[in-house]
Amino acid sequence: MPDPNEPNWIAVSARAQAYQALHLAQLADKPLLERANFLMTLGLSRAEAASLLGSTDDSLRVQMARAKKKVVSAATGKASGVEQDA
């Protein structure tokens, strides 16, 4: 039976490899969302990606929602919160 005080070495190794992949992909200087999306593509949860990037899950969630709104607004041609004349 595993010791509850013993770290999960598989998870530690996976996070370390994800961190190395982030740097090998030359994404270290990219925006937070781009790095987070890369890590989530590798299989990390949003919370794990946020932790690895020195952020929080809630902060990353809000940033992703804002980025999605920008994409939707750009696709529809409407500025959010601004009335447009027809």
Contacts of 59 (CB under 8 A, 6+ apart): 50
User: Which amino acid is located at 1 in the chain?
Assistant: M
Domain ranges within the chain, ordered by starting residue: 16-60
Give the rounded distance of the alpha carbon of 23 from its chain centre: 15
Task: Show pLDDT as tens, one digit a residue, over the chain (86 residues).
Answer: 678 888 889 988 988 999 899 999 999 899 999 999 999 999 899 999 999 999 999 999 999 999 998 888 887 876 555 555 54
Count of helices and strands (H, E) across the chain: 4, 0
**Which pTM value belongs to this model?**
0.72
pLDDT of 32:
95
Ranges of beta strands (E only) in the chain are: none
Nearest to 44 by CA among 71, 3, 13: 13
pLDDT of 79:
58
